[in-house]
């Protein structure tokens, strides 16, 4: 089936939506194929598979025979795309144009378009390159080819736009070599530009590139470039202040670069030297502030909180949210509520108004003014405001006030006709079929590409459609993309309920806690793979899975077992149970250990100078990812309790009453 244009699809969808009265609708199941349709689709899948095999073997006649049997099969464009890409070198311009016209705005058309431009650039077909060019392309090597094509075809302004592509701290693709050769020989290239890239290369820790750029500079610039490289290697040279007394832009670059490097090793010394050089040089305000922020951040990492606070008092503009929050968490660990109040007041206004810091403002009021009516009233007012929200801090505030959680649940209003029309959208059909035949990566790409061209109402309908298909990760993503936070059925699906219920019974873990972990880990994507190598619904590392399987007496053959929802939930629940046993049933510590590892959690507990209330301990977890993870898992547990008809507390009485 040939693709509808994005404009046509949006028009049809808008027309359908305009006819929808404002009422709720029962959500029908996705359209079920008739027996005849199912048989036809099975035949098409067989022809598709045979055509793909024939194409891989370069049996083109056999490939075309099966291709002709596909009709409107959604994945037909994938075969045509593959066949075309194999003969790009023969410059099949008419066939390329026909494909781009047949499947406009599609993922494959965009992919083929870029490959075609790359081929034209490599073959220096500059006129054709400009004919097929699209200004929406942001790819570096294609942009280099584009400027070279413009120059070769007589555009005298093209080289003037090359500097931003050249001024980076890393090597650019080979496709840029032709453009840069022309640019370096033109009057557009200056010693100042060479100096700037030399500096950027050193900042990026790319010494070989810096050495190459040094050779492009006039000899009169190379002595200062050598000094910059010396300071890069030995920033302590800045102690020799007389050596760096020249009042030039290049010397300022050298000083600032050296102080940045020195701050990494010794922020207190960097601060001392900065004050001397700041009195000597006229630094740009923006670069001055950037260095001060870097020094302040390094001071914090090196445990110099007093020096940071002194610097903040000296330079109020340093009140960045990240910096103040790090100081705040240090004071929360000390439970210095006066300092907490003072630092919250230094946060940017938007941060002060966040649920997080409103909650801690109330906690500070409570602890400072617990015996005073005014302080208690102020705290209760903030808690009441927060308790109206469905959030971690809202739930904690509700617990303090002793009131029920506000679990706002407003299902998405998706008209059945709109959902039906989405089922016919070419990209959605391709995504669905790819998912069915097991091409999950391409299915994800098609889905995301399609949603990127839709309006909010269409995205919401797509989320409902994905939920009907059992494609839970996509329904969750659709709600996020549409910023629709209140459909708890779509955002928190009861996926793999049989497996979760069985795992809860086998381990005595609360099923809502298992759901919360799986929702946070993978959003129920069974083939999820993390950069670190964790796999599946509950994101288990293969080594952890092997150990857990051996300990629990569960068969485990290799890491592919973890892509099975049954086995992944079985092993993930056993591992979570081990963590709960290790941490005396405390879900806060078990969740932190599931994310960051039990060794780190044990170390964090040992390093605490005093036992901390559970909310302080969570807020001061050293890893931002783990902090958010624990907060989400506890919050999601409450929501999953609601979804299954049970009212659960955010934390148990035991978890709340035992300091960590």
The span from the CA of 236 to the CA of 213, in Å, is 25
Contact 510, 539 (CB under 8 A): no
Please, what is the end-to-end C-alpha distance for the chain in angstroms? Answer: 61
For the chain, how many helices (H) and strands (E)? 38, 0
The active-site residue, picked from 521, 581, 607, 625, is 521
Q: Is 101 a catalytic residue?
A: no
For every residue of 380-401, DSSP letters joined together read HHHHHHHTTSSSHHHHHHHHHH
What backbone torsions phi and psi does residue 370 show, to the nearest 5 degrees? -60, -25
Contact 122, 133 (CB under 8 A): no
Sign of the torsion angle spanned by Cα atoms 304, 306, 307, 309: positive
The span from the CA of 522 to the CA of 440, in Å, is 15
Closest C-alpha among 214, 256, 210, 208 to residue 231 = 256
Query: Which position has the token pair 């390094």?
Result: 298
Contact 492, 455 (CB under 8 A): no
Cα 177 from chain centroid (whole Å): 32
Structure tokens at 201: 């290369």
Structure tokens at 134: 């699209």
Helices (H), 266-344: 267-280, 285-301, 305-314, 321-334, 337-344
Residue 464, number of CB atoms within 10 A of its CB? 28
Active site residues: 521
């Amino acid at each position: 089936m040939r693709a509808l244009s994005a404009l046509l699809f949006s028009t049809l969808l808008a027309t359908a939506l305009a006819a929808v009265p404002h009422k709720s609708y029962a959500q029908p199941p996705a359209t079920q194929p008739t027996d005849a349709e199912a048989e036809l689709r099975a035949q098409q899948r067989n022809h598709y598979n045979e055509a793909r095999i024939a194409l891989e073997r370069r049996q083109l006649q056999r490939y075309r025979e099966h291709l002709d049997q596909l009709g409107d099969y959604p994945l037909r464009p994938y075969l045509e795309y593959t066949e075309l890409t194999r003969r790009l070198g023969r410059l099949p311009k008419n066939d390329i144009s026909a494909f781009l016209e047949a499947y406009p705005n599609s993922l494959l058309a965009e992919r083929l378009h870029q490959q075609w431009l790359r081929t034209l650039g490599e073959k220096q077909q500059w006129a054709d390159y400009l004919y097929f060019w699209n200004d929406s392309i942001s790819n570096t090597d294609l942009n280099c080819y584009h400027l070279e094509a413009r120059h070769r075809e007589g555009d005298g302004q093209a080289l003037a736009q090359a500097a931003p592509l050249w001024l980076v701290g890393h090597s650019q693709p080979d496709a840029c070599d032709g453009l840069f050769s022309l640019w370096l020989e033109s009057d557009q290239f200056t010693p100042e530009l060479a100096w700037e890239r030399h500096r950027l290369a050193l900042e990026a820790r790319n010494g070989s590139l810096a050495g190459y750029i040094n050779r492009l500079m006039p000899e009169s610039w190379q002595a200062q470039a050598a000094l910059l490289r010396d300071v890069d290697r030995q920033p302590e040279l800045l102690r020799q202040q007389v050596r760096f007394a020249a009042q030039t832009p290049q010397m300022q670059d050298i000083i600032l670069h050296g102080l940045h490097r020195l701050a990494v090793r010794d922020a207190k010394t960097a601060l001392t030297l900065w004050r001397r050089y700041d009195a000597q040089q006229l630094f740009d305000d923006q670069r001055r502030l950037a260095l001060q922020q870097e020094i302040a951040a390094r001071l914090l990492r090196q445990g110099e909180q007093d020096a940071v606070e002194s610097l903040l008092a000296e330079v109020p503009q340093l009140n960045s949210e990240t910096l103040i929050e790090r100081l705040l968490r240090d004071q929360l660990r000390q439970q210095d509520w006066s300092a907490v109040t003072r630092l919250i007041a230094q946060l940017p206004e938007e941060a002060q108004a966040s649920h997080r810091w409103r909650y801690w403002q109330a906690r500070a009021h409570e602890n400072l003014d617990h015996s005073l009516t005014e302080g208690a009233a102020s705290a209760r007012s903030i808690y009441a405001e927060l308790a109206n929200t469905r959030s971690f801090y809202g739930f904690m505030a509700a617990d303090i006030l002793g009131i029920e959680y506000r679990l706002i649940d407003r299902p998405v209003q998706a008209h059945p006709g709109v959902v039906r029309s989405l089922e016919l959208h070419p990209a959605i059909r391709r995504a669905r079929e790819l998912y069915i035949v097991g091409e999950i990566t391409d299915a994800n790409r098609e889905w995301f590409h399609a949603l990127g061209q839709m309006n909010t109402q269409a995205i919401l309908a797509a989320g409902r459609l994905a939920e009907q298909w059992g494609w839970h990760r996509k329904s969750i993503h659709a709600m996020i993309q549409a910023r629709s936070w209140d459909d708890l059925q779509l955002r928190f699906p009861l996926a793999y309920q049989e497996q979760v219920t069985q795992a809860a019974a086998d381990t005595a873990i609360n099923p809502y806690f298992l759901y919360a972990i799986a929702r946070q880990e993978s959003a129920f994507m069974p083939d999820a793979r993390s950069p670190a190598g964790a796999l599946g619904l509950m994101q288990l590392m293969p080594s952890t899975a092997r150990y857990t399987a051996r300990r629990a007496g569960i068969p485990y053959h290799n890491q592919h077992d973890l892509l099975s929802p049954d086995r992944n939930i079985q092993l993930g629940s056993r591992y979570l149970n081990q963590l709960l046993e290790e941490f005396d049933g405390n879900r806060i510590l078990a969740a932190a250990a599931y994310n960051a590892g039990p060794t780190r959690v044990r170390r964090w507990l040992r390093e605490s100078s005093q036992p901390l209330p559970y909310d302080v301990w969570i807020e001061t977890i050293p890893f931002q990812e783990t902090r958010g993870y624990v907060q989400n898992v506890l919050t999601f547990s409450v929501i999953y309790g609601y979804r299954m008809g049970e009212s659960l507390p955010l934390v148990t009485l035991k978890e709340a009453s035992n300091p960590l």
